[in-house]
Amino acid sequence: MIRRIKLPGWIVIFLLLAGIVFGIDKVFVKVFGESLEPNEKIVDSSVYPGLNIETKTRETDLYTSSVSKPYTDNEQINKLMNEWIDEQEEAFTSGIEESKNMLEENDFRAHLNIQVDTEKIADKLYTIEFQAYQITGGANGITKIKSFVMDLNENKLLQIDDVFQLNKSSIQDIQELIMNKLHSNEEIKPYILDEEAEKALNDSNNWKWSVTPDNVIFYFDEYEIAAGAAGSIKVEIPIKEIKPYLNETFAKKLNIELTEEETEKEKKSTEDYPQLDPDGKYVALTFDDGPHPEVTPRILDTLKKHDAKATFFMLGTQVEYYPELSKKVMEAGHEIGSHTMNHYDLTALELNQIIVEMQQSNDIIEKATGRTINLLRPPYGASNSDVEQAASGMDNSLIMWSVDSLDWKSRNAAAVNEEVMSNVSPGSIVLMHDIHPSTADALPQLLTSLEEQGYQMVTVSQLLELWDEKDVGPHYGK
């Protein structure tokens, strides 16, 4: 199977040198004024034992970004993955500098999205597939793919000779398998450049590959072996076809059958909440980008103490890692909506890509919680007619906000409380994020202040029902 997937010159030189000496995250801070959180100790509650993930988003006048970063207890493994992420961020930073004038003139924001697809092969044996998409100008963005296969039983990243028998005969056979798959796909066959494909496969040390329980996958970047219309290419070869060429030790690991019980959960509609008094004083607190293994439980505890309900707009990538935590949010009586799968700016995607982003997230959240998703908050609040069409097709309402706590910017509890209390009014939908410890710090006093002014904290759906608003929206609150 195959799938497609102007500053002055001296400042640019300074940025490049700074990126080398201090690291690309620090360059982002210096250039764009972003405030990066220090590394936090994360509780290992992931569905992938030994492997956790953190998704960080940024937003400025020039760009938006969403970077998912998996990590382990092994610093060397983390270092190798982070080096590749840093390379993508450095290229993005350079692209912004080159396109700064165009971005400002055209009121267009650049976007970087690094998403992660994780496959469990066996016990603590994982494939991590990164897909980095960036657009800094022009009509089309650039997509790059990188994979890592890690064995956390031995605390190492597997190299190609850990997986394949790399004698001359097996290399030739694998090359032939890949070429046959490329030519058998009618969709991309017209774009394949045979000479470039053979060149890319010539040195096995340069192969980009990964393993899943069912396939061995070989990756090719855009323009590497085909015309640009083909996009990034994945060649999937079933294990049964390539097994004769696998390293014997690795093949034995694949034969260890770890059966996962697949239980079909009956999809239920969102729990019915009590009807609201039309003359009541209500506010809907919403939390984006989670769940987070440390921050989200703190927020749940505070909400429980104040008998307050809230709505959590979760990322599919985060729910995939922390399904039990997602379920706890639902079981605590709170509402769950989708924040898409990978936090893309949906307005930069084609309609079919938007649908995939929404559907993947809905499926993962519904599997984790057993509840049907009918609310969507588009990342960055970015929406257009395609986004509305996709949401309508899934019977999802688009939920924006009327009060931005700016917790993503201030990272300060007192500032969060001041921002919300200065702008809140009856019927407000308040934007917060359950990934910042400072937001959890702010919540006890914020709830107390709201209660003192007579507010009751309810879900977004309760507000929409009170206003008799059941359409796609977008809905912003009062």
Q: How far apart are CA 212 and CA 219, in angstroms?
A: 13
433 is catalytic: yes
Cβ proximity of 397 and 252 under 8 Å: no
* Token reading at 353: 């890509």
Q: Which residues, other chains included, contact 328 with Cβ-Cβ below 8 Å and sequence gap of 6+? A: 297, 300
DSSP 465: H
Given the residues 292, 343, 433, 436, the one annotated as active site = 433
Is there a catalytic annotation at residue 475?
no
Per the structure block, which two tokens stand in for 111?
Answer: 């976007």
Cβ atoms within 10 A of the Cβ of 391, count? Answer: 26
According to DSSP, the β-strands at 397-398 and 375-376 are parallel
Listed in sequence order, the DSSP H helices in 138-206 are 160-163, 168-184, 194-202
Q: How far lies 270's CA from each of 286, 337, 446, 473, in Å?
A: 16, 10, 27, 19
| Residue 104: count of CB within 10 angstroms of its CB | 12
How far is residue 275's CA from residue 182's CA, in Å, rounded to a whole number?
58
**Helix (H), strand (E) at residue 85:** helix 75-105
CA distances from 66 to 56, 252, 349, 367, 431 (A): 6, 38, 15, 24, 18
Phi then psi dihedrals of residue 172, to 5 deg: -65, -40
Scan for tokens 């409380």, then name that residue: 417
Q: Where are the alpha helices (DSSP H) in 269-375?
A: 295-305, 316-321, 323-331, 351-369
| 297 upstream amide cis, omega within 30 of 0 | no
How far apart are the C-alpha atoms of 436 and 158, rounded to whole Å? 34
Torsion sign (Cα): 300, 436, 397, 284: positive
Helices 24-32 and 75-105 sit at what angle, rounded to 10 degrees?
30
Residue 290: closest CA among 331, 339, 363? 339
Nearest to 420 by CA among 435, 409, 430, 434: 430
Residue that has been written with the tokens 């045979």 in this structure: 194
> Annotated catalytic residue: which of 221, 288, 289, 434?
288
**Euclidean distance between CA atoms 82 and 86, whole angstroms:** 6
User: Between vectors from CA 122 to CA 237 and to CA 289, what angle results, nearest 5°?
Assistant: 90
Q: Which residues are catalytic?
A: 288, 433
